Amino acid sequence: MLFDTVILSGTVVTENEVYEADLGIKDGKVVTISEPGTLQSGKAKVIDAKGLHIFPGLIDVHVHFNEPGRDQWEGLETGSKSLAAGGVTTFFDMPLNSNPPTTTKERFEEKRQLADEKSVVDYRLWGGLVPNNLEHLADLHEEGAIGFKAFMSECGTDDFQHADNGTLLKGMEKIAELNSILALHAESNEMINYLTDKAKKEHRLSIRDYCNSRPVLSELEAVERVLSYAELTGCKLHIVHVSSKRVIDRITEAKQQGIDVTAETCPHYLALSIADFEEIGATAKCAPPLRDQEEVEQLWDSLKNGDIDIISSDHSPSPPELKEQGESIFDVWGGIAGCQNTLHVLLTEGYHKRGVPLSKIAEVTALQPAKRFGLNPTKGSIRIGSDADITLVNLNEEFVLKKEDLKYRHKISPYVGKTFIGKTKYTFSKGKCVFEDVPNKASV
């Protein structure tokens, strides 16, 4: 057989095994998987993968590239190149903080055109559920929205309103009818506003005060409420950026009760604590906030136990001015830029430091996202016939993340200066090489 690319003698990582093989890629698909050292390359591009691990390209279900309207904050080109450099081959872009947000068919089409033009990797788009767009949900679904996203608390911009309980109930009824899925930013607006006002009145404005104003209880209360709405409406749920094992455990319990719900966490909740936030400053501000080290370790236990379905980045950058801490951390933009380093965090903090199996990492970053959102078997695992979405990693190569390594529009990330073990060497998206780690020439 003639191939476009052959990847020789690499170690393939799938959700249930790790084995050596040659891979043959043709027309964007994996067409052959054979014993190492057996594939004839012919005229194909040859990648010598001896000593490298081949992961299924990551599927990041949660990024904010903010285009159109706020592409000065990130943008589809810089965002997707950052993903490629981190081994991510598919992203799902959130309906905010694009401006206007993706809450109608027209906005969806507009973003799709931009993404087709600018993205170097594959993508899907979320639609938004906001007050007063119920009549647009069916159209968005028909256009191909991967699901819908709603906020239960204010999101930090004025153009994407959070969903009140009535909007949630009606929206969930509709989304269930469409057999789609609702992703939720689940924090209690009432609790947060109450605690924030109180902290500000009492001039408690430190980083820890900010964290205390968004306690785990506020996530728990919101999740509890929306689980009961899911039971009522039959709507499928995906709870984004869960920061605590207590919340994960409640979601696990709901699954056992028959509710169709999945849990996502982000690398920063696994890699960073409040103490790191205090050291790094505003760059590490996000919502829900980072938690104490004990919570971080408990979240790793949840991952090892199989209670976390998906790990995605929640890459939500802003211009540097909005990340500068003035009088109070409360006024700084909440959002962490991290989508280039999801796999690096999981390999360093998970595989190397805590013994998390490579297969588990492949499962939560590729297979389960693909399954949950209907992309499997085309995506999510390396098998014959699947899209050639692949990333090659040198598992033992150490590197210190430098500002210049970042492909984000703004070279800001809480991981700058961190030593990672496990370096991305190549990324292929549908058979096309979209990243190659060449010294002094970091991308192709």
Ligand X SMILES: NC(=O)NC(NC(N)=O)C(=O)[O-]
Is 62 a known ligand-binding residue? yes
* Residue 97 partner contact from ligand X, Zn ion, none using kind-dependent CB cut-offs of 5 to 8 Å: ligand X
| 97 touching ligand X, by CB under 6 A | yes
Q: What is the DSSP letter of 335?
A: -
Phi, psi of 365 (to 5 degrees): -100, -15
Q: In this chain, which stretch among 102-110, 178-186, 221-229, 341-349 interacts with Zn ion, using CB under 5 A?
A: 178-186
Which residues from 132-161 bind ligand X, rule CB under 6 A? 155-157
**Which range of residues in 314-322, 325-333, 361-369, 371-379 is near Zn ion by CB under 5 A?**
314-322
Is residue 149 a contact point for Zn ion (CB under 5 A)?
Answer: no
Instruction: Count Cα atoms within 13 angstroms, Cβ side, for 430.
Output: 8
Query: Quick one: which of 335, 369, 380, 414 contacts ligand X (CB under 6 A)?
Result: 335
289 binds, among ligand X, Zn ion, none (CB under 5 to 8 A by kind): none
Q: Verify binding: residue 316, ligand X, rule CB under 6 A.
A: yes
Q: Which does 156 bind (CB under 5 to 8 A by kind): Zn ion, ligand X, none?
A: ligand X
Length of the chain: 444
Residue 286 engages ligand X in binding (rule: CB under 6 A): yes
Residue 316 C-beta: closest distance to ligand X, Å: 4
Listed in sequence order, the residues at least 6 apart from 122 whose beta carbon sits closer than 8 Å to its beta carbon are 89, 90, 91, 379, 387, 389, 429, 430
Q: Smallest distance from the beta carbon of 79 to ligand X, in angstroms?
A: 13
DSSP state of 315: B
For residue 334, state whether it binds ligand X (rule: CB under 6 A): yes
Query: Which listed residue (314, 349, 389, 436) binds Zn ion by CB under 5 A?
Result: 314
Residues touching Zn ion, count (CB under 5 A): 2
- Residue of 29, 53, 64, 250 that binds ligand X (CB under 6 A): 64
If one asks whether residue 287 binds ligand X (CB under 6 A), the answer comes out as yes
**CB of residue 377 vs ligand X: minimum separation in angstroms?**
29
Of 74 and 314, nearer to Zn ion (C-beta) is 314
Residue 352 labelled as part of a binding site: no
As measured in angstroms, the least distance from the Cβ of 335 to ligand X is 4
- Nearest Cα neighbor of 17 from 48, 47, 54 is 54
286 binds, among ligand X, Zn ion, none (CB under 5 to 8 A by kind): ligand X
Residue 185 is assigned to a ligand binding site: yes
Q: How far apart are CB 335 and Zn ion at their closest, in Å?
A: 7
34 binds, among ligand X, Zn ion, none (CB under 5 to 8 A by kind): none
Of 14 and 153, the one with the shorter C-beta distance to Zn ion is 153
54 binds ligand X (CB under 6 A): no
Q: How far apart are CA 215 and CA 185, in angstroms?
A: 14
Cβ nearer to ligand X, comparing 29 with 241: 241
Smallest distance, Zn ion to C-beta of residue 387, A:
25
96 in contact with ligand X (CB under 6 A): yes
Contact between 233 and 172 (Cβ < 8 Å) = yes
Smallest distance from the beta carbon of 351 to ligand X, in angstroms? 25
What does 334 interact with, of Zn ion, ligand X, none (CB < 5 to 8 A by kind)? ligand X
Do residues 125 and 92 make contact, with C-beta atoms less than 8 angstroms apart?
Answer: yes
Residue 154's region, left for phi above 0, alpha for psi from -120 to 50, else beta, is: beta
Residue placing its CB nearer to ligand X in the complex, 56 or 334: 334
Please give the structure tokens belonging to residue 115.
Answer: 């993404």
Minimum CB–partner distance for residue 97 and ligand X (Å) = 5
Tokens of 282: 């505003």
Binding mask 179-208 for ligand X (x = CB under 6 A): ------x-----------------------
Residue number with CB closer to Zn ion (183 or 356)? 183
Q: Give residues in contact with ligand X (CB under 6 A).
A: 64, 96-97, 155-157, 185, 241, 286-287, 314, 316, 334-335
Query: Which residues belong to the annotated binding site for Zn(2+)?
Result: 62, 64, 149, 185, 241, 314
Q: Give residues in contact with Zn ion (CB under 5 A).
A: 185, 314
